Structures are given as structure tokens and as C-alpha cells.
Amino acid sequence: MATDVRPDTPATAAPGAALGQRWDERRAWITTYFDRTASAAWATLTSDAPVSGIRKTVREGREQMRRTLASWLPEDLTGARVLDAGCGPGVFAMELAARGAHVVAVDVSPTLVGLAQERAASQPGAERIDWRVGDMLDPAHGAFDYVVAMDSLIHYPAPEIARALSALAARTGHGIVGTFAPGTPLLRFARVVGRLFPQGDRAPAIEPVLEGTLRKRLSADDTMRHWRWARTQRVQRGFYTSEAVHLERHQHRG
């Protein structure tokens, strides 16, 4: 199943170079938050430990989202090279490896990557996971058959999400599954309220995005001319709301 996809992005390009300073600044904020402030909470959230009612809905929502995205990928990934972009504690990466994939699992948080490595050590296919700390858009990660970006782009506005997806698509042979935060009134209200807190007390804001806006930006991107917007599905569970998206590369037929 693995394909030799030549990247359209130069290997010498700096991570995030095409997205500019705003991407770099937001990524730095996210790194600090997840590596220092929220790492313990995420370790608990992605375990079997008891959690409060609010976190329970987030856990259930994320699990439903993971199952949704996983169902859009081939059940048998033997020989495929898959990027888990924003792997966090590694739950998705472990499932991909168990299906036979060779996984490059990348996250900006060294703490969460370390936790993922510990948890995966005894899991089936653990030897096929290459854990990395860094920018998920770094061309040095190479080319892939599939990319998974679950809840790793929800902190970016539509222009940055579109450019990130374009950068990933340039090095992907078959499909991309991921999420964005839908532009619902509730999420927009929560974003406004979040701005009322002192900056030092804020978590990285979720950026609500209208599906039509994102689709329009991708359709105008020359790199995406070989791709189609296959499907979307919203997952909403208590305090968790996210929109799943499946992008597919057009397969040329001779």
C-alpha cells in the first residue's frame, strides 16, 4: 500500500515557513500550554482514571471522534506510512500501528510524547511508531500515504488551517482525516468569553471556522486541485464539539 510520493514542498523549507509568524506564535503558545500547564490533565483525560462530569463528556466526545476518523481509513494499513499530526498521548498512533501502519507520531509537547512512548511500549505494533517532538508540518518528516490531524488544528483560524492542510496534502498520497472547530454560536460565544480572562490564565483559544469558508480557501489553493472534500461529520458531546473532515486525493486511472 505504501507509495513513493514526492513532496511539492522543498525539503529545505523551515517548519511552518509558508504560514508565517502568526502560526509560529500560536504554536509556541500551544507548546507551552500542553507541555507545562495541561500535560497532567491530558494524561488523566486519555487514561481510564475517573474524571469529573465535564471532562467525562470531553473524553467521550474525543473517543467518538477518534472512532469516526479511524473508520474513514482502511482497516488494513499494512505497509502504509501514516503521519499522526499532533499525536498527544498517542492513542490514535497506537491504533494505526496495530492496523499495520508505520506511524510517524509528532507533537510539540515533549511531555506528552514521552507519556505516549511509555504507554505504547507494550502495545501491538509499538515497534512501528516513530515518536518525534516538533512541528507536524516539518518537511523532514517525509511523505505519507495518510495523515491524521485530530484536534491539532482547532486552535488556528481558517487561513492557517487551509495552508496547513495544503502543506500536508503536498506530501500525502491518499487521504487526510482531521478536525476543525465548527463555527457554532456556542463556540463563538465561548471564544469571546475566553478573551475576558488575563492572558496568562487563558488556554489557547479554539478558533471556530465555517465549513464553507474552509472549503472555499482549499478550492482556491493550487496544491489542492488533485484533492476532493469527501465528507464531514460533527461530533458533539457535552463540552466537546468538533467537526470531522475527510480529504481524498484523486486517483489517476490509466
The rounded mean pLDDT for the chain is 82
H helix or E strand, kind and range, residue 106: strand 102-107
The answer to pTM > 0.85 is: no
**pLDDT value at position 54?**
80
Helices (H), 99-171: 110-120, 158-169
- Of 45-59, 83-97, 181-195, least confident by mean pLDDT is 181-195
Write out pLDDT tens, residues 126-153. 999 999 999 999 999 999 999 999 999 9
**pLDDT value at position 238?**
85
**pLDDT value at position 21?**
59
Q: For the residues 107-112, what does the mean pLDDT come to?
A: 92
**How far apart are the C-alpha atoms of 59 and 96, rounded to whole Å?**
19
Give 250: exposed, middle or buried? Use CB within 10 Å, 0-12, 13-18, 19+. exposed
Contact (CB, 8 A) for 109 and 34: yes
Write out pLDDT tens, residues 162-206. 999 999 999 999 999 999 999 754 444 343 333 433 344 344 567
